[in-house]
Every structure is written in C-alpha cells, then in structure tokens.
Amino acid sequence: MLNAVDSTIAPAPAATTPAASAQPAAGADRVLFVLAALAQHGAPITVRELVARTGLPKSTLYRQLMLLKRWGFVLESDGEYAPGPISLQLALGFDMASHLAREALPDMRLLAQQSDESVGLVVAVKDHAVCLEMVESRQSLRCSFEKGRGVPLRAGASAKSLLAFMRDEARERLVRAQCEPAEAEQLLQELAAIRDTGYAVSEGEVDPGVWGVSAPLFSRRAKADALGSITLMVPATRRQGREGALIDMTVAAAMRISARLQSY
C-alpha cells in the first residue's frame, strides 16, 4: 500500500506464562494452554507438575495430552511429557524464518538504498504470501507492506514469484484451488514465463498505484522450492523509465542472498 507519512509500531504486550493467565474455557484454547505450558517448562514434565502449572483438573489434562500425543505435538516417556516431533518441526520452521530474515536484511537495506524504494521479504504460508521483514523507503510517498500482512497467493509480484518457484505439484494444487479453470490455465502459463525470466513483475494487482518486482531466494537444501522472495515496491508514478534498472538491482540482491543461504 502507499503511505505518505511514517508509521509507528506499538510495542507488543509482555508475554505471560500459562500459570499467570486465566484458565481458558474453550476446548481448543485448553489444548494450546497445555502445549504452551509444556514448551515453556523446557524439560519433560509430569501430570502432577502440569496440574500445578496450569491449575487444570487432572482429567482435563489427560484428555488434552492424549489429543496432543495423537497429533505428534507431545511425546510420553515413563510418565513424563515433552514436546513431540510436530512441535520440533514448528521450531525448525521458526528457526529457518529467523535465519532467512537475518541473511536477507543486509542486501534488503542495500537495495532500498540503491533504489530509494521499499523492499520486503515474503514467504509462502499455506495459500498466502506473508511479509516476514520490511525495509522502508526514506521518501515521504512510499510503498509499504506491513510485517505479518498476508495476501492470497495468486496476484502480485510477490505471490507469483513464490508460486512460480514452487514444486510443480504444490503450485498446480494451489492455483487450481484458488482460480476458476480458465483463470488457472492463464496463471499457470504466466508462472511458466516467470520461471524462464527468473523474476515476477506486477502493477496494481494487490494495492492500486504500486509497481513491484520480486525475485526468489534459494538455499542448498531447497533448490526446487524458493524459501521466499524479496520484492521491491515502487509508486507507479516513479517507476517509469527505471524498470530495467530496478529489476536488475532486485535480481542481483536476490542472488547475493541466495549465495549466503547456500551454507544453510
């Protein structure tokens, strides 16, 4: 979106432990309440200890633990409970996202300085393109894609870059789930062309008046799937006559970031 003034971000509320918060009433909340208590304990824990930490009745705790065990979020050994393999996968995903943002930021800042425009780091989360990190332009009229914001994974340079460099079966499934048949065929052809050029360009597909170019990021472990994309966002009135240079800058920045990610 276009911003004419600087925005501010309110500080996040202080984190609380499960024991410090009110007991949840809904079943889904209770499951997450128990999982949070397990994660924050940092070591295997008994049901008796969980009762003390959460204040939940033992019968309720057993029901929640059985559900978490069935889904792989919890493991049980000798009467003690600890986070299971699915919880580990979530942790690894968080670690990867943090690593990606850390490795991308230096070149995102350099690209923002070279272009005097805004640069975002986006990743695919289910059927959405989500902004993981953002470097704002210094200009008063600038494009901004707020951290944490997600848009459907079907329109705009960011989404198309992520889709184009996704595994064939995943790309096909997502496109056909979100589009009518004729529209899906057209989008799949466009994504094939994006794979040939190595970047995606769009104008006004997500936010009116915004031109963007997006290039994928790869690591050694994820050669078939892009880990994410960096997107240069420019007010359409400022991109005229600069498109070629802006594309070259963005692709070069993505290549430098990918080179650093090869060790991960």
* pLDDT digit string (tens) for the chain, length 264 residues: 544 333 322 333 334 444 444 555 556 677 888 888 887 777 788 888 888 888 888 888 888 888 888 888 888 877 888 877 676 556 655 555 678 888 899 999 999 999 999 999 998 877 888 888 889 888 887 776 777 777 888 899 999 999 999 989 889 999 999 889 999 999 999 999 999 999 999 999 888 889 999 999 998 665 567 889 999 999 998 988 999 999 999 999 999 999 888 765
Estimate the crossing angle of helix 85-115 against helix 243-261, to 10 degrees: 140
Q: Residue 143: CA atoms inside 13 Å, Cβ hemisphere, count?
A: 27
Q: What is the CATH number of the domain that holds 139?
A: 3.30.450.40
Confidence (pLDDT) at 262 = 79
Residues 77 and 99 in one domain: no
Residues 104 and 196 in one domain: yes
Last residue of a domain, one of 56, 83, 110: 83
* Euclidean distance between CA atoms 222 and 259, whole angstroms: 13
**Please, what is the end-to-end C-alpha distance for the chain in angstroms?**
33
Residues 206 and 118 in one domain: yes
Confidence (pLDDT) at 133 = 86
Residues 129 and 169 in one domain: yes
Contact residues for 16 (Cβ-Cβ < 8 A; gap 6+): none
Global pTM reads 0.65
DSSP H helices, the chain, are 27-41, 47-54, 58-70, 85-115, 157-164, 168-178, 181-197, 236-239, 243-261
Last residue of a domain, one of 62, 83, 104: 83
* Euclidean distance between CA atoms 231 and 215, whole angstroms: 7
Last residue of a domain, one of 83, 103, 137: 83
Please report whether residue 10 resides in a domain: no
Confidence (pLDDT) at 130 = 83
Confidence (pLDDT) at 19 = 45
Residues 177 and 206 in one domain: yes
Domain hosting 128: range is 94-261
* Euclidean distance between CA atoms 39 and 81, whole angstroms: 10
Q: Is 11 helix (H, G, I), strand (E, B) or coil?
A: coil
Residues 239 and 195 in one domain: yes
Please report whether residue 12 resides in a domain: no
